[in-house]
Amino acid sequence: MTNLIGQYPATRMRRNRKTNWSRAMVQENTLSCADLIWPLFIIDGDNKTETISAMPGILRYSVDLLVKQVKIAYELGIPAIALFPNTPNELRTQNGEEAYNPNNLVCKAVRAIKQAVPNIGIICDVALDPYTSHGHDGLMNGNEILNDASVNVLVKQALTQAKAGCDIIAPSDMMDGRIGLIRQALDQAGYEQVQIMAYSAKYASAYYGPFREAVGANNQLKGDKKTYQMDYANSDEALREVALDIQEGADMVMVKPGLPYLDIITRVKAEFKTPTFAYQVSGEYAMMQGAIQNGWLDEDKIIIESLMAFKRAGANGILTYFALKAAKLLHSSDQPHQP
């Protein structure tokens, strides 16, 4: 930092911190319910929930119960939810055809939510891992993940979701060129108003383990995803990925995982000045929740502090499994995000 002005004792940095009102007046970043996106897991059946052992407090919901959760989120001021299916094993195939079945779990959920809570945003994941028997985000030939053939299927999946009523298509597959081809297909089909939130800087991370249990892919995955997800040693590469996705038509971009990648969020926001989102992923949630349950961390305080870190780094919003709890905290009389 250059051109520092002031010197002790004339300058006393603590003066601005001495009262609640003074701290509030000089606070540089704020967190609100509008910053939160709630990821939700869907299962088949009626009036049914399932626990997720690696994500204490998080449930999978059948569509009817999912709608009730979405209503709660909307009433709390959460602007959007993100949907992830746990596809029955008998529907998982080598080529993931269930991904573009108009009656799959995601499409059923989208239609039900649109009918019951029409003014909440719905974000749909575009990737094949919840639908393939091998657990990868694309099609396979031997041990190779096929890029262009996979993109053709992803386009079909995106169109199916848009037809069901999805507001934001969110490709998380990391195949090259998929944003441009999805944008072109959406526009040609009359869905030019459907937004694209690109998982642009998605790293091959160990933090995804609990999520794979949540969508039932943990026992499906053959090998790893390092040939298409990013190397976590790389930072400049993330800027190239983001630049390509913006050029191809992405309306918003995402960095995933979250807290260990705040430097990437800051670089992306500074470089492109485009709506930038972060995903506080399942492994981050599991670590924090484990410490909370052991009494090592104060739940209310750590949730809000961790989410504020994303805002300070430059994120416009955060996908977080703490969304509902955070929204309730932000509505409470003693909001812990306040100075």
Helix and strand numbers (H, E) in the chain are 11, 12
Tell me if 122 sits within 8 A of 129, measured CB to CB. Answer: no
Catalytic residues: 202, 256
The angle formed by the CA atoms of residues 127, 242 and 201, to the nearest 5 degrees, is 55
Q: How far is CA 331 from CA 74, 288, 335, 337, 338, in A?
A: 13, 22, 7, 11, 11
> What's the helix, strand, coil split of the chain in %, to 5?
45, 20, 40
The angle formed by the CA atoms of residues 58, 62 and 68, to the nearest 5 degrees, is 75
Q: What's the CA gap between 118 and 96, in Å, rounded?
A: 29
Q: What is the DSSP string of 243-274?
A: HHHHHHT-SEEEEES-GGGHHHHHHHHHHH-S
